[in-house]
Amino acid sequence: MHSFKKKSATFIYHGDFGGEVYIVGNTEEGIETKIKVDSEDIIDFVAEYVRKEMIDCIESMDSRELLRTHMQFNKRKIEIKE
């Protein structure tokens, strides 16, 4: 298991990002809270955030910026793990 510690929580996860993720949070009173979340739910949550950011960015582009971005995007071959 791996861990990723931030200001308000620690994420404990498998190296392949599969299975469950444990989120351990600390309250101001020092009481530890722990929940188990399916990693796919977290991936979907983050993807939704990225989707919204990308849409906002695309909507603010002028025509030439959009076409340049489209050309650059189509040059890349990105594999997404299923």
pLDDT digits (tens, 9 = 90+) for 25-39: 977 777 788 999 999
- In angstroms, the CA 55 to CA 61 distance is 10
Token pair of 69 as six digits: 């971005």
Element holding 74 (H helix, E strand): helix 63-75
What is the reported pLDDT for 29?
Answer: 72
Whose structure tokens read 């990693």? 39
Q: Write out pLDDT tens, residues 42-72.
A: 999 999 999 999 999 999 999 999 988 888 8
What is the reported pLDDT for 31?
Answer: 77
In 1-82, beta strands by DSSP E: 2-5, 9-13, 20-26, 32-38
Q: What is this structure's pTM?
A: 0.69
